[in-house]
């Protein structure tokens, strides 16, 4: 048996035992996160970023969790961090998705590890779609947080009092973003790449932008809102 296969077999057995018996507990402040508010839809497919916080460099990340198969169908791991070596496995007998990875160069806090792509039967992904979970950073038990909610209209946690206008939509050579001065604005393409940020009450030149869909992410002290826009 190869070392990689041996490691994978031990990992699957260990996580299956822990997640079924609830024996793991966090021993430090390291945290893995599935931030659904930062995810994005393409049709009925949603890609959820996996990030982490840790005091030092991270070389190994392992995790496992259940998800509601009546609402989400796992599709693939996409946009892995450069140099990341990984394996994943979904056992239909216990409905637990497992992931193990290694990066010889090390990752620093805030680096996206990868995106998890699901097909959403409800055109929505929320934290309540995920059940029991376990996470490990550099082999040590860590916190794992799954938070937020998003639908394929492009909205996350919405506040009635948040005033923002993005126009014209669809747009061609330019875009105007109008919002309160204390909000943070970020614009992403459909692949999750940051196009520009901190634009508010200003005209944005978009002549060189590729045609297609984008998301405007609006953040204030309490809420996050996503607005879907399109360039013709």
CATH number at residue 181: 2.60.40.1930
**What local confidence, expressed as pLDDT, does residue 103 receive?**
94
**What local confidence, expressed as pLDDT, does residue 23 receive?**
38
Let me know whether 116 and 184 are in one domain.
no
**What local confidence, expressed as pLDDT, does residue 191 receive?**
62
**What local confidence, expressed as pLDDT, does residue 224 receive?**
66
Tell me if 157 is assigned to some domain. no
In whole angstroms, what is the distance from residue 219 CA to residue 232 CA?
26
Let me know whether 126 and 211 are in one domain.
no
Per-residue pLDDT of the chain (232 residues; tens, 9 = 90+): 454 544 555 444 544 444 444 334 444 689 999 988 888 888 788 999 999 999 889 999 999 999 988 888 898 999 999 999 999 998 877 778 999 999 999 998 888 899 999 988 877 888 888 988 899 999 999 999 988 888 776 554 443 455 678 888 788 899 888 877 778 888 877 666 788 887 667 788 999 998 877 878 777 766 666 777 778 8
In whole angstroms, what is the distance from residue 101 CA to residue 183 CA?
36
Let me know whether 133 and 196 are in one domain.
no
**What local confidence, expressed as pLDDT, does residue 182 receive?**
77
79 conformational bin, left if phi > 0, alpha if psi -120 to 50, beta if neither? left
Asked which of 128, 151, 174 is the last residue of a domain, the reply is: 151
Please report, for the chain, how many H helices and E strands are present, in that order: 1, 19
Cβ pair 144, 35 in contact under 8 A:
no
Cβ pair 114, 52 in contact under 8 A:
no
Let me know whether 78 and 174 are in one domain.
no
Q: Which residues pair with 214 in a beta bridge?
A: 189, 229
Let me know whether 147 and 171 are in one domain.
no
Let me know whether 41 and 65 are in one domain.
yes
Let me know whether 30 and 123 are in one domain.
yes
Question: H or E stretch including 164?
Answer: none
Let me know whether 76 and 178 are in one domain.
no
Q: Which domain holds residue 89?
A: 3-151
**What local confidence, expressed as pLDDT, does residue 139 receive?**
92
Let me know whether 23 and 128 are in one domain.
yes
Tell me if 24 is assigned to some domain. yes
How many domains in the chain?
Answer: 2
In whole angstroms, what is the distance from residue 28 CA to residue 170 CA?
47
Stated pTM of the model: 0.58
Let me know whether 51 and 119 are in one domain.
yes
Structure tokens at 120: 């959403």
Let me know whether 147 and 191 are in one domain.
no
**What local confidence, expressed as pLDDT, does residue 9 receive?**
54
């Amino acid at each position: 048996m190869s070392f990689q296969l041996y490691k994978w077999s031990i990992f699957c057995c260990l996580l299956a035992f822990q997640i079924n018996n609830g024996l793991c507990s966090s021993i430090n402040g390291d945290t893995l996160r599935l931030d659904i508010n930062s995810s994005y839809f393409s049709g009925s497919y949603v890609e959820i970023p996996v990030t982490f916080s840790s005091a030092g460099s991270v070389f190994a990340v392992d995790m496992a969790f259940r998800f509601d198969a009546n609402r989400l169908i796992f599709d693939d791991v996409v946009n892995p961090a450069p140099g990341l070596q990984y394996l994943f496995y979904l056992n239909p007998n216990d409905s637990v998705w497992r992931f193990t990875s290694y990066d010889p160069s090390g990752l620093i806090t805030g680096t996206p590890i990868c995106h998890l792509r699901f097909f959403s039967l409800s055109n929505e992904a929320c934290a309540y779609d995920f059940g029991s979970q376990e996470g490990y950073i550099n082999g040590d038990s860590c916190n794992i947080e799954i938070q937020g909610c998003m639908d394929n209209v492009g909205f996350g946690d919405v506040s009635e009092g948040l005033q923002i206008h993005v126009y014209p939509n669809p747009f061609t050579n330019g875009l105007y973003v109008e919002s309160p001065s204390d909000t943070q604005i970020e614009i992403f393409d459909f692949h999750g790449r940051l196009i520009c940020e901190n634009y508010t009450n200003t005209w944005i030149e978009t002549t060189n932008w590729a045609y297609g869909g984008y998301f405007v992410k609006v953040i204030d002290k309490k809420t996050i809102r996503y607005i879907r826009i399109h360039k013709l």
